Amino acid sequence: MTSRVMRAPRDSVGLHPRRGSHRKMRDRMPPPSRPPSRRSSSDSQGHESQDNTRIRSQLRTPSGDSHEQARGYEDSGEAGDEEFDESELAQDDDNSESTRAGPPLTLEIIEGPDQGRRKRFRSVRMVIGRGQDCDFTLSDQSVSRRHVELVYGGSSGVMLRDLVSGNGTRVNDTRVEDVLLNHDDVIHIGRTKLRFIDELERLKRKRLAVEEAERKQKEEDERAEREAQEAAEAARKAEEEAAAKAAAAEAAAAQDPSTVKMGTPVPSGDGQTQVRALRDIPRREARKNDPLRLAVAGVLVLVLALIGGGVLFVKRGPPPPPPVSLKKEKATRMLQEARNAFRRGDYAEAVNLATEADSLFPGVSTDGFLQAARTELSIVEAFTRVRTLLAEGQLDEAGTLLDATPHGTAQSTEETRTKLEAELAEARLAAQVKQVEDALAARDPKAARALIALLPVDQQVTYLGKVAELEAELAQEATDSAAQERNRRAAAARRAQEERAAFILAAFLPVQTRFDAGDYSRAALECDRVIDGNSDDKEIRDRARLLKKLIPEFARYYQDAQRKMQANSLEAAARPLRSAAELYQRIGFKSPLGDSINGQLAKTSVVAGKGALARNDLVGATGFFKEALRLDPGDTAALDGLDAIQARLETVYRQAYMQRDRDPERSLETFRMVSRLAAEGSEVKSRADAQLQEVSP
């Protein structure tokens, strides 16, 4: 009896359960990119305008893709911009720099008095400010009249320039003067924050998100198809096993001797089928027909018929589900515990449990829970490092790490991020205040003013007053220190001069010793020794050469005056004594010899003055008497001589006045002599000066 097994169609066991999903995914695929076309500049401008208009229409028209709506894809920038009226269109047409559609760029106010407003670029330039002439007028009073300008440069992007505003401009919390903007950058001017939106970049990111979702959907479809194929394969194997069992039962029934007919092939011991001939079969005696055996045989035949009919004609249902794996159940329980830990905020425990579940039964998590838990754990660990850096005072490193940390999906992590940003702002403000106070403590007003400019306006007033007080104090100290410095330098100069004089005196001490002893020739020779001993000192060498010249001259005049003094010729000794005194002053030695010379000169000067007065040499007499008074201010003889000269000048003036017509030249010389010798304020001096003024041209 031969058995046949009928196989069910493959569609019935689910080999292609998602043909409709493939068709839907094919409909969602973006159109292929077209090759770049070669066209003229005018054509490209026209096409660019059409492309910009098409982009605007795509941005304003909500997407009709049911798959994206089901998957929950949305974009915060889909809201429409400000109303576009015909007057603005006409104004843009008059602008030589504008285009019909404008670049696909938009500004959205996300914080401030004008929150919710949007402005699309109408041309390549946009000025933002409080003034009515700005392209984007704001009501924020902390914004300057013309605060900032945005310039669209085509492929090079959009350049932001600060128009020397009062409060400055910040992009992503960084103070800037000019910067190239990127999509989603936040511009902070005054109390207003604006988000810069590049429509092309946003569409690109949205398309990438859709492609990523389609890729994940495709992976899920492929995985479901593999699971369906595996189930179909298991069902097929089960059918084959059932058919094999039925065939084995039929074979067992066929081997029963009571059911084998004559001439039926019988398998041999070596697996080959042998066919016996009728003559080879030994004859047996015919058994009697036993009714019981016949009944049993009929029942067996009926059962086999029912089994064969059931195998051949009865339609089987789906195969029984495979037995549940204990590892999978345990992994599923661990994964649920991990989800509970994730909800409690214990991300480390969630990661550990999810990792163990995935190791126990790979692929137990199909929704990316493990990766999400690891991401949240990394964010929490990054926040912990940020707090550590804040505690250590490393504010720049903390800000960089906080900015680099991605945003998570849990609300608790976002709340923690907000708190850390507030703490970082407070720490930076406190650090700036400390820097200002340190600069004031270091008495550096210039650095303090530069740091105060970085503080908020409400805190600048206090520190500006402190800087003004510091500058006034420093100015007063500078005045006092300048006077002290002058006195110190004068005292130092005096000390240096005294030390130098003492050094020179010590160098010429041998010369002075010989000079005071009257050995003038030996004193001149000692000058040569001084030169040899101080060859590296120019001042001492020059003084030694001068002394070597002056000492012999002094010796000559002094010795001549002494000879005349010994001869009691005091009037004749006055002139050589005067020359000797002058040379002694130039030599510069301080000794009793100088006092002796001055005493002799005073005495001889009085005698020489009287002699000159007797000869009517008023000029010479005046010189001698004044020399005597210089050396001895209380010399009565010299005072009497000067009085006599004053009386004699009256007579000389009268004679010159009487002779002025006969001999004007001589009278003029006489008037000059009287004016020079007469005492200050005397009548004769006044009259002589008057005569000189009359004669002068």
CA triplet 402, 407, 408: central angle to 5 degrees? 125
Under 8 Å between Cβ of 88 and 100: no
Q: Which residue has the tokens 């590296």?
A: 536
Q: Give the per-residue pLDDT at 18.
A: 42
43-92 per-position pLDDT tens digit: 444 444 444 444 444 444 444 443 333 334 334 443 444 443 434 433 44
Average pLDDT over residues 677-682: 83
Contact 142, 114 (CB under 8 A): no
pLDDT category of residue 42 using cuts at 50, 70 and 90: very low
Domain 105-202 indexed as CATH 3.40.1160.10: no
Give pTM, 2 decimals: 0.32
Structure confidence at residue 86 (pLDDT): 39
Identify which of 515, 537, 644 has the alpha carbon closest to the alpha carbon of residue 586: 515
Distance CA 577, CA 559 (A): 9
pLDDT at position 565, please?
86
Kind plus residue range of the DSSP H or E element containing 86: helix 86-94
Average pLDDT over residues 380-387: 89
Residue 186 has pLDDT above 60, yes or no: yes
Q: Look over the chain and give the mean of its residue pLDDT values, rounded to a whole number.
A: 77
The torsion angles phi and psi of 193, rounded to 5 degrees, stand at: -120, 130
Question: To which H or E segment does residue 197 belong?
Answer: strand 192-198
User: Over 70: is that where the pLDDT of 41 sits?
Assistant: no
Residue type at 430?
A
Q: Which helix (DSSP H) or strand (DSSP E) does residue 159 occupy?
A: strand 158-162
Residue 23, pLDDT > 50, answer no
Q: What is the pLDDT of residue 303?
A: 66
Asked whether residue 138 carries a pLDDT value surpassing 90, the answer given is yes
Q: Are 543 and 553 in contact (CB under 8 A)?
A: no
CA distance 208 to 214: 10
Interatomic CA distance for residues 113 and 141, integer angstroms: 9
For the chain, the structural domain boundaries read 105-202, 599-696
| Nearest Cα residue to 324 out of 361, 370, 375 | 361
Q: For 470-518, what is each residue's pLDDT tens digit?
A: 888 888 888 888 888 888 888 888 888 888 888 888 888 888 888 888 8
Q: For residue range 626-637, what is the model confidence (pLDDT) as tens digits?
A: 888 888 888 888
Q: How far apart are CA 93 and CA 87, in angstroms?
A: 10
Cα 368 to chain center, whole Å? 40
Query: Which stretches within 405-533 are classed as H helix?
Result: 411-441, 445-452, 457-507, 509-516, 520-533
Rounded to an integer, the average pLDDT of 175-201 is 93
Q: Indicate the pLDDT class of residue 570, thresholds 50, 70 and 90.
A: confident
Model confidence at 107, pLDDT cuts 50, 70, 90, reads very high
Identify the band that residue 93 occupies on the pLDDT scale cut at 50, 70 and 90.
Answer: very low
Length, in residues, of the chain: 697
Choosing among 1.25.40, 3.30.70, 3.20.140, 2.70.98, the CATH entry for 599-696 is 1.25.40
Q: Is the pLDDT of residue 135 over 90?
A: yes
User: Residue 260: pLDDT above 80?
Assistant: no
pLDDT at 302 (0 to 100): 72
- b/e sequence 257-272, b meaning 16+ C-beta within 10 Å: eeeeeeeeeeeeeeee
pLDDT of residue 113: 92
Residues 6+ apart with CB under 8 A from 52: 99, 101, 102, 103, 104
Reduce the DSSP state of residue 109 to 3 states and report it.
Answer: strand
